[in-house]
Amino acid sequence: MPVAVRELELDLDAFEGPFDLLLSLVLREELPLREVDLAEIVIAFVEHLAGKGELDLDACGEFLVLISALLELKARAMFPEEDAELAELEPEEAAEELARRLAEYRRAKEAAHWLCGRLEERRDLFFRVGPAPLAPKPERKLAPQSPLELAKALRALAVEPPAPSVSHMALRFPPTAQFLERWRSLLRRRTRFDFDQEVEGLSRVEVAVAFLALLELRKQNEIAIAQSGPFAPIRISRADAERSLSWSLPGTPPAHSA
């Protein structure tokens, strides 16, 4: 790149720095080309040449090639969907399409001038974003209140609340001796019984205590405990009863004593 182009310093809205750095950012797609004002680049280059006081034809040719390439890239970026269509147009159709685009550009430019004029006309007008200072302030009116009712409410708040009751959380365990006597009395009348049937309707705590009573009787060799399998009914019998009798269904393995 010629020295005149490399020394060109740009001060644009979207970029500030040397021209060759701008080209590198655009080619690496780190800077959108549609945000770069190419007319300002041309003006900066002309001013740079005027400041040197001599015409560098090599630099001008190189700059024209670069700026034309940037113009083509920017046009394709602004009209990506129409790029393929324009290549298939006939000369007359292409001329009509160019005239349409020029008319559209003219309308956009006229709209921009109109907006600039409106902005210039209303430059001295300011709009308040908050309420006006002299606007009446709304008054918050409270409903009529009774001093006695207020004192009653404060008095209720000053009373210390009662301590919460945790009685419903306490677990009451029945005595093991109660079930020991129950099982002994039952075995005096019967030879065997089903544990699940006897504890039906009791709470979980009572069932647990009843089972502890059975374990205590088994520890003292007063009873025999048999179960044909996991989760099968638990059979209780006197220790002196015949242990070979099976309570399981026909075809099931014999019961095992605990």
pLDDT tens-digit readout, 168-217:
776 677 888 888 999 999 988 888 899 998 989 888 888 898 999 999 99
184 near 222, Cβ under 8 Å? yes
Percent of the chain at pLDDT > 90 equals 5
* Interatomic CA distance for residues 112 and 106, integer angstroms: 10
Local confidence band at 247 (pLDDT 50, 70, 90 cut-offs): very low
- Mean pLDDT score, 242-258: 44
**Any idea which of 2-16, 39-53, 57-71, 154-168 has the lowest mean pLDDT?**
2-16
pTM: 0.32
Q: 50, 8 in Cβ contact below 8 A?
A: no
Give the residues across from 11 on adjacent strands: 16
Provide long-range contacts, Cβ within 8 A and 24+ apart, for 226-230. 226/255, 226/256, 226/257, 226/258, 227/255, 227/256, 227/258, 228/252, 228/253, 228/254, 228/255, 228/256, 229/253
Give the pLDDT band of residue 255 (cuts 50, 70, 90): very low
Domains of the chain: 3-81 (no CATH), 176-257 (1.10.10.580)
pLDDT in tens, 103-124: 776 787 788 889 888 888 887 7
